[in-house]
């Protein structure tokens, strides 16, 4: 079975159980904490290691998360370790967050600009995205500054890309001139 399929199934089980017990938001916080901690190389390698026995991994995880997780999340972690699926925790966490956002109608939108935008401009962009039919009801806006864009912006969400950057426009012009048969014959002479 593929990693994606395993992750999706475990995540769906946790999402369904948490929703049924009205703990979805609390469990989502726990999963975000797990995502953050698993991004540390040492813990990631510990979880992936076939050499370290399951009971030792369980002791370490209990020590790291003692009292920080909801009992449901702790029980879920125990099941993962008992079933030998703890190595899939990063993928399961990603799948959980994706399913959680889908269930809560949250769109994650990445806004990349050439310079830092003011709060008023960001709020205006957020309002326009929220009123759009292309996004869900709630917008989770992630901003990034990339000076190489020269100007304009790039918006990415749900596998879509809207690139209005100056760098992109210049690249389009360059391609247009290169592909224009009439101009390329003039330049060749």
Asked if residue 83 belongs to a domain, the reply is yes
Residues 13 and 97 in one domain: yes
Q: How far apart are CA 102 and CA 170, in angstroms?
A: 36
Asked if residue 129 belongs to a domain, the reply is yes
**Domain hosting residue 162, numbered range:** 106-181
Residues 57 and 70 in one domain: yes
Q: Tell me which of 91 and 183 has the higher pLDDT.
A: 91
Residues 118 and 177 in one domain: yes
pLDDT per residue over 120-148, tens digit each?
A: 999 998 888 888 888 888 889 999 999 99
Among the candidates 79, 102, 125, a domain finishes at 102
Residues 120 and 155 in one domain: yes
Residues 54 and 42 in one domain: yes
CATH of the domain at 167: 3.40.30
Report CA torsion sign: 148, 152, 156, 162: negative
Q: How far apart are CA 66 and CA 181, in angstroms?
A: 68
Asked if residue 187 belongs to a domain, the reply is no
Determine the pLDDT at residue 172.
Answer: 87
Residues 85 and 141 in one domain: no
Whether 110 shows a pLDDT value over 90: the answer reads yes
Whether 61 shows a pLDDT value over 90: the answer reads no
Asked if residue 15 belongs to a domain, the reply is yes
**What percentage of the chain exceeds 90 in pLDDT?**
51
CB 49 within 8 A of CB 4: no
CATH of the domain at 27: 1.10.520.20
CB count within 10 Å of CB 34 equals 24
Average of per-residue pLDDT across 102-114: 91
Residues 22 and 63 in one domain: yes
Strands (E), 131-187: 138-145, 153-157, 160-163
Whether 189 shows a pLDDT value over 60: the answer reads no
Asked if residue 130 belongs to a domain, the reply is yes
Q: Which two tokens stand for residue 90?
A: 């990063």
Q: How far apart are CA 178 and CA 155, in angstroms?
A: 27
Asked if residue 138 belongs to a domain, the reply is yes
Total domains present in the chain: 2
Confidence of residue 74 (pLDDT cuts 50, 70, 90): very high
């Amino acid at each position: 079975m593929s990693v994606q399929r395993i992750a999706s199934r475990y995540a769906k089980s946790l999402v369904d159980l948490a929703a049924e017990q009205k703990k979805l938001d609390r469990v989502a916080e726990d999963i975000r904490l797990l995502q953050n901690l698993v991004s540390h190389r040492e813990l990631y390698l510990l979880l992936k290691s076939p050499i370290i026995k399951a009971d030792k991994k369980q002791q370490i995880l209990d020590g790291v998360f003692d009292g920080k997780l909801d009992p449901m999340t702790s029980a879920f972690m125990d099941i993962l370790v008992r079933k030998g699926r703890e190595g899939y925790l990063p993928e399961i966490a990603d799948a959980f967050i994706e399913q959680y956002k889908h269930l809560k109608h949250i769109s994650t939108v990445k806004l990349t600009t050439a310079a830092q935008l003011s709060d008023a401009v960001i709020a205006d962009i957020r309002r326009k995205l929220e009123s759009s039919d292309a996004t869900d009801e709630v917008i989770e806006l992630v901003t990034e500054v990339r000076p190489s864009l020269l100007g304009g912006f790039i918006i990415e969400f749900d596998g879509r890309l809207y690139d209005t950057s100056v760098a992109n426009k210049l690249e389009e012009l360059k391609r247009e001139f290169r592909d224009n048969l009439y101009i390329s014959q003039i330049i060749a002479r």
